[in-house]
Structures are given as structure tokens and as C-alpha cells.
Amino acid sequence: MLNKSDEDFRRWMPDEKQISSSVRVQDPTFLASSVSPIMSSEPPCDIPGTVQLINTRTVLNVEHGKAAGNIVLVPQPSSDPDDPLSWTPKRKTASIFWVMVWCFSAAAIVSGLSPAYLQIEADTGISVADLSTGNGVMFLFLGWGTLVTQTFALNYGRRPTLVLSIITTTVVNLWSAFVKSRTEFFVNRIIIGIVSSPMETLIEVVIDDLFFVHQRGFYMGLYSWTLWCGALLCPVVSGFVAEALGWRWIQYILSIMGGAVSICTFLFFEETMYFRPCLRGEMISSSDSDHRPFEGTSGILEGRKDVMDEAKDAADRNLSRPNSDVDIRNAAGSKRDHSLASKIKLWGFRDSRKPFQIGQLILPFTLFQFPTIFFAGVLVGGVLSWYNVVGGSLALILGSAPYNFSPNVIGLFYLASVIGVSIGCLITGWASDALPLWVSRRRGGVMVPEHRLWLFVVAIVAHPVGCFLYGVGASYRIHWIGIAFGVGAISLTLPLGTGLAFTYVLDSFEEVSGEGFVSIILIRNSMGFAFSYAVVPMIRRISLRNSFILIGLVGVGLWALCLVMVFAGKPLRRRAAKRYWAIAAKHVATPQTRGALLRRPSSLSISIIIIYHLPSNRGTITMTSAQFFNYPGTESNAEQYHYSQAVKVGNTVRTSGQGGWDEQGTINPDLDAQIAAAFDNALKALQAVDAELSFNDVYAIRSYHLDMDASFDVMTGLFKKLFPGHRPIWTCIQIGKLGLEGMQVEIEVEALIPV
């Protein structure tokens, strides 16, 4: 048992400034096993998704972006050259290019037949109604097929999944050119839905493999554009192909394209799966190039030589460079072979340390318990449903009076959708990254996933405008240009909904995001499948005008949920934290790291931080969750004197001593005003860690006085005002001198981040 008085702890903490670097050892449980009284076995309560994105503190010893040096790279890349996060920009660009080519081709293949339904009915006897039903069944199995294909990709690799998927999609697509009966067509659509389902969820995983948090919005926008353009452009072209060459040539041409993409994917797409034994949780500490011995620890570990020796031995065995998750190369045994044969192989990518359980197949259903997942699924399902309403009614509106357009001209209206989707992707791709950065810079560098959701303001305007122009406008027989603008406005919301929902889940629950995407798609495609059957009956029952008034209002309500999640999202993630980390530990962590995950600091589980000196080329070991913060106006002190105003360990926050200075650093000579200012500064230090912290969260106060008699009553009077609902513990000490001339009182506070 390690016991040390608060006074000793106070004398010890300033020497923490001399820490030179931080590392994470291969088995982070060794400290817990050596010093068990310090660590709690309760589940972790770190809020998933909340990250330090901008380094405003000048003390974060983590990898930063090169273009903007104060952007913290999340997740932190490892030192392993096989880590996709460490690849060169050229290598990343090549990988994402071929993934987008694959996605465009897969989306085109499954969307090509719709303009030729009348020809297919005349040639095969399969009714247009059955063809539409078969198409709906295909979209249903595009969602449910991800249960199989995504599980395979997450365990055995992205590359074999994409290659096998495009090959089988091409073969099944070619088969569809020879179908003769309704049953055969339905079977064909079910199989093609299953084998092409990776385009719904796997591309997002590849983006997660390759890019950091502040880059994902752009590539999610690019993915949305590729997916929707493949689905929207192919019907435009296939209508002309069917008219000139016959409907079977649509499938022949698409099969040729699929074969070419199969070859390119096999030859040029690299595997991006990379196993990180430790769940994400970036270690942040101060940094100094001077590797001086750690001083001031006299008595801290006195009598505990066994702890020191055991910890030092573990460190010597397992040290990695600062900020890497672990030494991946040592853990894996050897680096990946980079020969041509190894690059084009389709097997051997699974890491033996990665846990595989049959329970992973039902994990997408387990994730429905989290409101974040359910919200994202409903959002994406809603935008797909509006698209199905437009697709199901376009021919009905434009093929009738007063428009009377031919099928090929009706197909050209999909170009309006392409324009709308392109604008939506530009907004999603650029603003989805820029907005969180802008907000984070103004909130102490901390990013929460809800920052991206503010883009809903574009969709909540565009959706009703599009519905009223398209549906209501058509009922009043407005010019066809108005119809086209309505289609474009509705289509603008498609990539917004897709990009925001997928990125929100990826930011919030990255450890299980692959399975989370499956959860989203299950909701989305089930909603879309239901709406595809409700479109025509709804229009016939309540009229075209009333149908789109209803759809416009429902869509506004759906997009308004984003505003609800902007404010409720973080509390919901906080409430779900213990359950989420328990699920992540079970399905993601290795047996070696699972115990460490479940022993993350919780509540009052940490009483001191163990820091000891190792040889200068080895660095220093610290508790992995310690993060240091400063509030605006104290950066120069942090730089000059090399210390921080607050530290966060788990969900416990402790401030350094706060005096009664103002923003210019001037000490107020009036004792009452000086004490009030010191408490104000203590609150600033707390809110530098978490903007929602208040004095209601403070549980301990320590104060140092030059004249106890003069200041005691002032302190207790303030307590009644600042802490009306509870009575924090208080230690007051009279001393001879404080840090700055004129200071009469110095105050430290400790608080808990609510869970």
C-alpha cells in the first residue's frame, strides 16, 4: 500500500515538469497488478468519441499533422511502416482511388436494369410489378448481406472481400441477362444483393483504416458522391443502351466493366487491415528534449523496491516509441512481406491476436441499444426513403400530362440528382472536416462527434424546398425546370444524411464502427424497402400534393433530430460509456489488453500517479490516461515555467494552485476580491478540461494562506455561495510565502467529470 500525505504529494507534483517523454508498454496491466490499491476494477467511464483534436496547450507529446502543426492525429499512428495511418499520401491516394472505382462500379451494376423494365416484361413475361419487387428485395439484402460480408472483411481482410465481391457480382449480373422466370429473377436479385453488399459498409472501414479524424469528412463525402453517382448515372446511360442494342446489352456492358474492375482491384488495391492490440486512448503528456533524471521522488516509492524492479523489467521488455499504441513489429513477430506475390495474395491477413467469436455476428444487433446507432440508422433510412419516393414517382409525374416525356428524357432527370448529390458532397466533404476544427479551436481543442451535425441546417432547408417544388409543384403543373430543381434539392440531402450518419458513428464508436455500420444499414435498407412499396399507394390514396407535403414535414422532423443530438449526444454517450467499453473489450481487445481496458481509471480510483526515472534512452512511464491542460492567458507560464494548470486522470480533474490574478496577470491587493478571483481561475482550469464542469462537480479544496485569521471567514463565506448543494472536503494550510508577489491565498480544487 502506498501512502503519502497531501503535503508530500503537493511537493512532489511540481517535479513532474521534468518528464521527458511517455511510452506505453506491451502489457499495460503490469502497473495494475503491482500496485492494485491504486487501480479500480470498475468498468471504464471515458466518454467514447470525445478527443483532443487541437493542441492548444503546448504540452501534448503526440503526433501532429504536418499541414497544420497544432492538429493532433487521432488515432495516433504507430512506428510500424505497415500501419496504413503511416503510409505516404501517394500510397493512401492510390488505395482510396481503387476503392472508389470499385464502389462506383458496384453501384452501377446493381442499378442498371431499371430503365429497361418494359423491354424485359415484353421479352420474358416477368411483369414490371415483379421486376420492381425483385429490385426492392435486392436492396433489402444489400443491407442484410452485410452481416456476412462485413464480418468476413473485419476478420480476414478488406482486399479478399472486395475482390471476391466484385467477381461474384459480375458473374451474377451476367446471369441476370438470361433469366426466364419470376422465381429465377428473385433468386438472382437476392444473391446479387448479398455479394455486392460490401459497397454499403466496407468503404467506410477502409476510410477509417487510412485517415485521421480531421480528414474523414472529406473522404466520406467522396464516398457518398461515388456511391450515388454510380447509382444515378448508370440508369441514364442504360436507357439509351436498351433502346439501341436491347436490354441484355446493359448487363453485357456492365459485366465487362465488372471484369475490368475485378482485375484492377486484384492487382492494385493493397490490404488496409491493421490490428491494434490496445483500444484507442491516446496518451498525452508533457515533453522535453532534455532527458534529465526524475528528481523529487524521495520517499514516494520508499520501501517498494519490488514495484520499481517489476515495472522496470516490464518496461525493458516492452518499450515502444512515444505515442505508439504498442511496438507492433515486436508483437507481430516480423514486418509484412512487401514482395509482389505478397501484395496480390488473397489470404493470410488475419492477425492471430485478433479475437474472433461467433458473437460478432450478432454484435450489430447488440449495438441497437445505443441511441447514437439508432439515430444514425434512422437518419440514413430517412434519406433513402425520400429517394425511393422520388424514384417511384418520377415516371408517374413526368410521363403524364402536361409533361408527357419519353422514358429516355425522364432518365435525363437523374442528371439533376447527380448535380444535387455533387453539391451535397462538396458541403459534406469540406465542411464536415472544417466545422469541427473551427469549433474545437474555440473550445479548448476538444472535439466531440456532435460538432459535425450542425450541417443539418442545410438539409432542413433543402428538403422541404425540394419536396414542395417537386411534388406540390407538379400538382400545380409548374414548368419542368421547377421539377428538376426540386429533384436536385432533395438529392442534395442524400450525401448529407449518409456522410453525417456514418461519420458520427465512426467518431463516436470507432472500436466497433465496422459492426456499427452494419447496424445502420440494417435500419436504412429495411426502411427503404418498406417505403418502396408505400409510394404509389400513398399517392393514389391522399394525392400527389398531400403526399409531398407530408414527406416534407416528416423530413423536417427527421433532420431536427440532429439538433436534438447536438445537445443530447454527449450526455447519451456518457451514459453509455461503461456498457460500450465492456462490449469493446469483449469483441475488440486481446486477452492481454482486455484486463487493462477494464481497469481504466474510474471515479476516485486513482490516488496518485506513479512516475519514475529510467535510463535516458528509455524515456519515462506514466499512467496512460493523464492529460494536461491550460486555460487562455496561461500559455506563456506553461511555456516559460513548464507546468500545467490542470490534469485529467480518468474522470478525475485536479488543478494546480490558483491565485487571484486577472487576465493580465495582475494580483488584486484586496483580500476578498483576490480570493474570489482565485476561485474564478480554478473554474477556468476545470473548464479547460471539460467545458461542462462547474463547482457542483468539485469534491475537494486545498488552500494555502499567508494569514489564516484574515482569510478564513472570507473562504467559508464563499463556500456557501459556490457550493449551495453540497459540502466538499477542505484542507487549509498557513505558510510563509506564495509563488507570486502580492498573493495572499492560493487554491487547488479537485472535481469529477459526471458519468
Q: pLDDT for 679-688, tens place per residue?
A: 999 999 999 9
**Of 212-221, 591-600, 738-747, which has the strongest mean pLDDT?**
738-747
pLDDT digits (tens, 9 = 90+) for 204-256: 889 988 988 778 888 888 998 999 899 889 988 888 898 889 999 999 999 99
CB 593 within 8 A of CB 32: no
7-21, 370-384, 392-406, 634-648: which range is least confident on average?
7-21
Bridge partners of 700? 729, 750
658 vs 630, 738, 747, CA distance in Å?
12, 11, 5
Q: Report DSSP state, residue 275.
A: -
Q: Give the CA angle between residues 444, 447, 452 to the nearest 5°.
A: 130
Kind plus residue range of the DSSP H or E element containing 197: none
Percent of the chain with pLDDT over 70: 76
Amino acid identity for residue 215 in this structure: Q
Task: List where CATH 3.30.1330.40 sits in the chain.
Answer: 626-752
pLDDT tops 70 at residue 184: yes
What pLDDT shows up at residue 353?
A: 59
Name beta bridge partners: 650: none
In this prediction, residues 501-518 reach a mean pLDDT of: 87
pLDDT digits (tens, 9 = 90+) for 303-321: 434 434 444 444 344 333 3
- What does the pLDDT read at residue 336? 54
Record the pTM: 0.62
* Mean pLDDT of the region 81-99: 90
Q: Average the pLDDT over 661-676 and give the result.
A: 88
Rounded Cα–Cα distance for residues 75 and 303 (Å): 39
Residue with cell 426502411: 527
Task: Report the Cα 495 to chain-centroid distance in Å.
Answer: 17
Task: State residue 43's pLDDT score.
Answer: 37
For residues 251 and 3, which has the higher predicted lDDT (pLDDT)? 251
pLDDT at 315: 39
What is the average pLDDT across 169-192?
Answer: 94
The pLDDT value recorded for residue 492 is 92
Q: How confident is the model at residue 141 (pLDDT cuts 50, 70, 90)?
A: very high
- Digit-coded pLDDT (tens) for 267-276: 999 998 887 6
Cell digits of residue 423? 453539391
Q: What is the mean pLDDT of residues 78-82?
A: 77
Q: Do residues 201 and 146 touch, judged by C-beta distance below 8 A?
A: yes
pLDDT for res 340 = 65
Taking residues 615-643, what's their average pLDDT?
A: 66
Helix boundaries (H) for 690-734 = 708-722
Q: What is the pLDDT of residue 486?
A: 94
Highest mean pLDDT pick, 63-67, 342-346, 370-374: 370-374
Give residue 3's pLDDT.
Answer: 38
pLDDT-derived band at 373, boundaries 50, 70, 90? very high
The reported pLDDT for the residue numbered 356 is 58
- What are the C-alpha distances in Å from 204 to residues 195, 198, 207, 216? 17, 10, 5, 9
- Band of pLDDT at residue 610, cut at 50, 70 and 90: very low
Tell me what the pLDDT averaged over the chain comes to.
77
Q: What percent of the chain is predicted at pLDDT more than 90?
A: 32
Give 620-637 as a DSSP string. Answer: EE--TT-EEE--TT-HHH
Q: What is the CATH number of domain 83-274?
A: 1.20.1250.20
Which has more pLDDT, 134 or 289?
134
CATH, range 371-593:
1.20.1250.20
In the chain, ranges of CATH 1.20.1250.20 domains: 83-274, 371-593
Residue 456 binned pLDDT confidence (cut-offs 50, 70, 90):
very high
Q: What does DSSP say about strands 612-613 and 446-447: parallel, antiparallel, or unpaired?
A: unpaired
Rounded distance, CA 509 to CA 531, Å? Answer: 29
Q: Among 90-94, 118-122, 477-481, 566-570, which stretch is predicted with the lowest mean pLDDT?
A: 118-122
SS3 content of the chain, % helix, strand, coil (to 5): 60, 5, 30
pLDDT tens digits, one per residue of 407-454: 778 878 889 989 999 999 888 878 888 888 888 877 777 888 899 899
Q: Which residues pair with 734 in a beta bridge?
A: 705
pLDDT exceeds 70 at position 302: no
Q: Is the pLDDT of residue 544 over 50?
A: yes
Average pLDDT over residues 39-64: 55
Compute the average pLDDT of residues 367-390: 89
Span of 99-113, 135-149, 612-626 with lowest mean pLDDT = 612-626
Report residue 747: phi and psi, to 5°: -130, 135
Which of 57-71, 88-102, 411-425, 603-617 has the lowest average pLDDT?
603-617
Amino acid of residue 414: Y
Confidence of residue 600 (pLDDT cuts 50, 70, 90): very low
Please tell me the CATH superfamily of domain 626-752, with its number: RutC-like (3.30.1330.40)
> Quick one: pLDDT band at residue 705, thresholds 50, 70, 90?
very high
What pLDDT sits at residue 625? 62
| Per-residue confidence (pLDDT) for residue 572, from 0 to 100 | 93
Q: Which of 436, 498, 450, 516 is nearest to 221 (CA)?
A: 498
- Give me the pLDDT at residue 653, please: 93
Among 50-59, 211-220, 360-369, 459-468, name the one with the lowest average pLDDT.
50-59
